[in-house]
Amino acid sequence: MGLLSWFQGSGPSGFGSSSTAEQVTDGVDASDLTAIVTGASSGIGKETARVLALRGATVIIPARTLEAAAKAKESLLEGNPDAKIEVMELDLGSLASVQSFARAFLSSGRPLNILVNNAGICWTPYQLSPDGVELQFATNHLGHFFLTKLLLDKMKATASETGTHGRIINVSSSDHAMADGSWLDLDTINDQSKFRGLLPYGRSKLANILHVNELSRRFQEEGANVTANSLHPGVILTNILRHIKLPGFVFSSLAGLAKPFFKSVPQGAATTCYLALNPGVKDVTGKHFADCNEATPSPHARDGELAKKLWGLSEELVQKCRKPT
């Protein structure tokens, strides 16, 4: 437990920064639910998958390689031999891979109640995806946008057939606040001269929030029994920071000094699991959360017109970049 957690109490939900994923889902029976958790081979994604499976859900773990997904499954089964976990291959940086994953999942005939768009990369060197889009934006937003689009009908059908509402959760970051709305075109996204520090990551995290806001608006407009929310998990030491170029001993020393002020992985996964399973947010949609309570994101993240503009750009990029199959 980080030192800051000792000084921060719970909010209206009854939970707070020191709450863990197990605590916020205590007593929930998810045995009839199926969830997809991207980025579940490590970090808070793996903890999210563990706790959803602990509560009885069938959890699909997609990873860039089946080997990575299989290792995660093996590790989770060691702690819970009865866990219902399946693995599939998915590279969110490639729209062709996203399409292949969605086709394979949909052909299985499985229902889909929960989609956790958790996977992310941060502070990578400048690089374009196979589809020609800056890699952090491609992986953190565009891949998830396309994945969600392809799975929407299945989620709506599952909700209609079972009477259990679907939940879509986008894991964002407080770093979304460093981005404004001036970058929403491919030329700016791909401009290497503007690629510096955490700004590209912040843009992708702003996109995560705007994505679910527009998604939620559309759900409400059509009366779909599906909710969509975003969250900031807190600051956690996970391998999302693996691209920071520091000597190993320097990174370890800095991490050791900062660790008391960071959340643990079980605490970092709490808000995701809260939004995925807790009955207290059953009908809540289009909101942003931190520490298992509603939070106010940046003004740009609350801009409905900006959300519509991002949606249009994302649709355009998917059409432009997707290769015929």
Catalytic residues: 201
Rounded distance between C-alpha atoms, residue 261 and residue 235, angstroms: 8
Whose structure tokens read 């946008």?
145
Query: d(Cα 113, Cα 318) in Å, to the nearest integer?
Result: 24
Q: How far apart are CA 123 and CA 46, in angstroms?
A: 21
User: Is the CA virtual torsion 325, 153, 221, 115 positive or negative?
Assistant: negative
The number of angstroms, rounded, from the C-alpha of 75 to the middle of its chain's C-alpha atoms is: 21
Quickly tell me which residue has 């000084």 as its tokens: 7
Residue 142 burial (C-beta neighbours within 10 Å; 0-12, 13-18, 19+): buried
Beta bridge partners of 61: 87
Phi-psi region of 82 (alpha: psi -120 to 50; beta: other; left: phi over 0): alpha
Interacting residues of 169 by C-beta distance below 8 A, sequence separation 6+: 114, 115, 116, 117, 118, 212, 228, 229, 230, 231, 272, 275, 276
Q: DSSP letter for 264, please.
A: P
Answer positive or negative: Cα dihedral of 236, 264, 229, 157: positive
